[in-house]
Chains A and B, each alone.
Chain A
Amino acid sequence: MPLIDYANPTRFLAFSAKALPWLCAATAVLLAAGLWLAFFGSPADYQQGETVRIMYIHVPAAWLSMFGYGVMAVAALGTLVWRHPLADVTAKAAAPLGAAFTFLALVTGSLWGKPMWGTWWVWDARLTSELVLLIMYLGLIALWQAVDDFGRAARVVAILTLVGSINIPIIKFSVDWWNTLHQGESIFRAGGPTIDSGMLIALFTMMAAMTLLYVALLIGAMRNEILRRRAYQMEMLAAGEGG
């Protein structure tokens, strides 16, 4: 079966109905392993003590906030360039999810910043650009709500998503380009990671677990969106028949 056949929403519903339970099970297993590693299986930091463990939630959430925007940008390309039928659904489902992870990253970062830096917030480049990302997510959600016609909403949101994707490299490189309070890159840098390997394993496990969580939630939200549109169309048909 060629890959394009999965673009059919009905096929997607059937495929995801079978795949979702397995995905949820894998997510639960990885999340359990990751959380155990985060709280018990990894060392405390020599400087920060036990509060470093917020990192295992904060870093995956921040990574997912950017990954989520990437998913929406790819979906936007799918809408505008290929008119892919599932692209609109993906973009609409991914927006609230991405916003939630961005908010989680900001809140956990703030909770970590108070004991570490002595402040709940600072207007440095990394935090400010992440906050701007949250505003962009909320703006996209507002735009989805504002336009009635789904097709037009999808195209309009797709354009705005692509224009806004400039923010992602800004967030990623903000710690290099500007003098920030937020710490710089410690994993993917020339010269190898500066983080302890015990922490690195826990961090990677939590990243994988939360990414799987994101994918499971996204597929669930996509299913809901497809079913919601079908219910709406059936209502319209019934109303048209005077039923």
Chain B
Amino acid sequence: MSALAAIAVQTARLSWRGGALVGVVFFLAVVVIVPFGVGPDLKLLARIGPAMLWTAALLASLLNLDRLFRDDRDDGSLDLLIMAGPPLELTVLAKCAGAWFATGLPLVIVAPLLGMLLGLEPAALLTTTAALLVGTPGLILIGAVGAALTTGLARGGILVAVLVLPFTIPVLIFGVSAAATAIVGPTPFLPPFLILVALTLFSLVITPIAAAAALRSLD
């Protein structure tokens, strides 16, 4: 197995073992709170459903990400990754891939079930899941920049979310737009969906560079 694949698998396995499923529980918890806040009217819930699913998925991904580099920093392997081995940018990509498999993909799998709790129609469930499938990698990548910047800091999780939230706004806008097309009317699904794909591809290129620069600036 190549070094990058090994890094990705290792990240996924450690994250999984370290309780990455709590992100899914957080996702469920936020979705459960929504009807308590806005009332149990299923029509209203179905209209705001995609937005609530996206907000909950965003928070669940971001809050889990502070561990991305922390364990490596604590046991010294981060220094090795910076100095030797594959280029640091590719290492960051591999770690993000592992993180997405452990934290992002479970969110996507659970999303249709939670969508049913919110009364979404099957068409809406499909669009929401597709949008989340394409958008959560972008969220993890953008969050990785925040995780790299705050590696080793106390209160890292919430700081990552605060720092990175403005940059996730475009993903959120187009993700909800794509997810809600089945509800709002016969608006076309493809334009916001393709822009969402473009945003994820864009972050695929830019965020490893920023995250690697941040990791190199650690002492």
Contact flags A69-85 to B (C-beta < 8 A → 1, else 0): 00000000000100000
Known interface pairs A152-B218, A160-B163, A163-B210. Does A143 touch B150 (Cβ–Cβ under 8 Å)? Answer: yes
**Which residue of B150, B166, B214 contacts A135 across the interface (Cβ within 8 Å)?**
B166
Is B166 within 8 A of A132, CB to CB?
yes
* Chain B residues within an 8 Å CB radius of A149: 219
Residue of B nearest to A135 (CB): B166
Please, could you name 30 A-B residue pairs with CB atoms under 8 Å apart, sorted by A?
A132-B166, A132-B169, A135-B162, A135-B165, A135-B166, A136-B166, A138-B162, A139-B163, A142-B159, A142-B162, A143-B149, A143-B150, A143-B159, A146-B150, A146-B155, A147-B153, A152-B217, A152-B218, A156-B150, A156-B214, A159-B149, A159-B210, A159-B213, A159-B214, A159-B217, A160-B145, A163-B145, A163-B167, A164-B166, A164-B167
Contact flags B79-114 to A (C-beta < 8 A → 1, else 0): 000000000000000000000000000000000000
* Chain A residues within an 8 Å CB radius of B217: 152, 155-156, 159
**Complex Cα–Cα for A5 and B30 (A):** 56
* Chain B residues within an 8 Å CB radius of A139: 162-163, 166
A132-B169, A135-B162, A160-B149 given; 17 more Cβ-contact pairs under 8 Å: A135-B166, A139-B166, A142-B163, A143-B149, A143-B150, A146-B150, A146-B153, A146-B154, A146-B155, A147-B153, A151-B219, A152-B217, A152-B218, A159-B210, A160-B163, A163-B167, A164-B167
Is B166 within 8 A of A167, CB to CB?
yes
Is B166 within 8 A of A152, CB to CB?
no
Give residues 127-145 of A contacting B (CB, 8 Å).
132, 135-136, 138-139, 142-143
| Smallest beta-carbon distance B168→chain A, Å | 11
B residues contacting A by CB (< 8 A) are 145, 149-150, 153-155, 159, 162-163, 165-167, 169, 210, 213-214, 217-219
